Structure 1
């Protein structure tokens, strides 16, 4: 258990921005010292009402078809050009960790520009930004720099390269936060943390999840629990789920979120099942909150896929949506030093965090009602005396609802079928439960989840 956690309310996004600014400068790669620091910092912001701990998976350990990577250590890394007889330093890891391609193997030597060039990376679309490049599994060394710097490099001089890096046995860390519910089932939120000096991609999702957890912790009665995982992208989800296969059936549904701090419309990527109840709940919430001003698409064709491709995968089958603000035509700050705290809009982070409230509320209260009565229900006779005159549509919808109480449709299904707001359906069903007219079981059940 990590103690000393902050208990903060964040109506204006200050806590989220504080967290982002602390995580941003860290050299967050798959397995590294700064990943451990990142998990510790996140723990300071999570509510004390929940339980938070770090899980560790040793380098070389198998996780399904994957292998836990080694720890990446940069002792020193720089590149110098010999100009007028003296070596002039061009880039240095000590100035910015983005200058080194993540997981570069060691190298030391003198090279011509022609031989060096294939190890240099820049982004002409953002000429003053340093790109972030990773080669986790290719293992080729490289340096990154602004394109404006690259264009000025002498082509006819000698270059000295020092890439003093190591790959050592380490432990891949996964932070796990849990708020228990009555059923022992969970909404799963997965947050990637492994992009050094990147913010929108993807620690904006971390900030949103922590903010939501703080509010949910104040809710003392809930059937559904919450589990949030903070981890290196993909390999972290694989490692955790491979080590906790017994938990997989208890995850009713999931969310992966990143790219939510800037000013573009929200984009919803549906789960692999495409029209799962969880997909329809997300669409319902977004239609209400965004008034139709959001984008939606199928799994693997709507956003850049991340850990949802693990949770949605065959054999795992946790219906998982992805939310972000990826604009049509792409985001030109992507994987560059221009993805920094200055581009974050606290109100946009808060907007997505509040969507989590509505997602969770429906997943938590949704259930499969089964009637205990026979025949058509005598509404006024059993005291279901709603104001039918003010809204005849409600009368028609509620009457139709009573013909679908056979235990095979959820409260959310009934809202869709009967053309009623979900809250109205819950109000009617709640009254019927109190009168002994309906029994039920939790919604988004294991059967529904596959």
Structure 2
């Protein structure tokens, strides 16, 4: 048994699970399923026995080799430019990382989850390269707590953005009385959001996710989501689910 390939990925995934349990996603978010099993054949067997689950899956993250001292390396989904890819790039925008194509070496269960006949968008997160790969030197001596936690930080943020994202569709017609409904943003407190209000509202036609809106107006996802949630609380928008591609 090797330490980094792949007990480290299991440890990182468990850490993310603990964090989500301690600080749950808000109501209405996607549920998050953690699955641990033998490489490739385990995923094939699991999906073969749970085919009814496949259409419900909105995305996946394969986690492995996260304890060695190397930058984060992430592999695109087979779709390459899926929302999951874009969110991953957003989360890693200020972090040193390597960006790789789908199923580029080293490839694993994403080839099953995102492969023909299943096609659930799935990325892979690891740390690469490391010289000890597939050697007896892959042992506990190369595992660093900081690396495990850093990978968990990245994966947790990807999950939080992806799971809380939705498509806002307006229920109103015409201009909204912003100040009368507590929706006006004081320009002296948040100039960027104040200037973006109209642009955000123009994207409530049921064609953009919150992440799309934040990306297009150039603001932080959580800033935009918190603001859109105020419209939702007032009944000015409804939240539509993002369709599955599986």
* 2:40 corresponds to: 234
Between Structure 1 and Structure 2, the one with more strand by share is 1
Please name the residue that 1:402 is paired with. Answer: 201
Q: What does residue range 32-431 of structure 1 map to in structure 2 within 5 Å?
A: 197-219=1-23, 222=27, 223-287=29-93, 291-301=94-104, 303-327=105-129, 331-431=130-230
**SS at the partner of 2:52?**
helix
Shift of 1:378: 4.0
Q: Is the 8 A contact 1:376 1:402 kept in 2?
A: no
Greater relative CO (CA pairs within 8 A, separation 6+): 2
Distance in 2 (CA, whole Å) between partners of 1:389 and 1:213 is: 39
Considering fraction of residues, name the structure with more helix.
2
**For the aligned residues, what is the CA RMSD?**
1.7
What SS does the corresponding residue of 1:439 show, helix, strand or coil?
A: strand
Deviation at 1:356, TM superposition (A): 2.4
| CA positional deviation for 1:236 | 0.9
SS in 1 for 2:173: coil
CA drift at 1:393? 2.5
Checking the alignment, whether the CA contact within 8 Å between 2:171 and 2:237 is kept in structure 1 is yes
* Aligned residues of 2:76 and 2:102 also touching (Cα < 8 A): yes
Give the match's secondary structure for 1:226.
coil
* Residues 69 and 142 in structure 2, CA contact (< 8 A), matched pair in contact too: no
Q: TM-score, normalised by structure 1?
A: 0.52
Larger radius of gyration: 1
Query: How many residue pairs end up in the alignment?
Result: 244
2-structure distance, mates of 1:248, 1:355: 25
Aligned-partner Cα distance in 2 for 1:426–1:404? 13
Contact 1:398-1:418 within 8 A present in 2 as well: no
Change (3 A) 1:292 1:210: closer
Please give the alpha-carbon distance, in whole angstroms, between the structure 2 residues aligned to 1:376 and 1:205.
50
Residue of structure 2 equivalent to 1:95: none
- TM-score norm. by structure 2 comes to 0.93
1-structure distance, mates of 2:127, 2:178: 46
* SS, match of residue 200 in structure 1: helix
Task: Say whether the 8 Å CA contact 1:200–1:258 is kept in structure 2.
Answer: yes
CA distance in 1, matches of 2:232, 2:97: 36
Partner Cα distance (2:20, 2:182) in 1: 34
Shift of 1:391: 4.0
Q: 1:356 to 1:292 in 2, by over 3 A?
A: closer
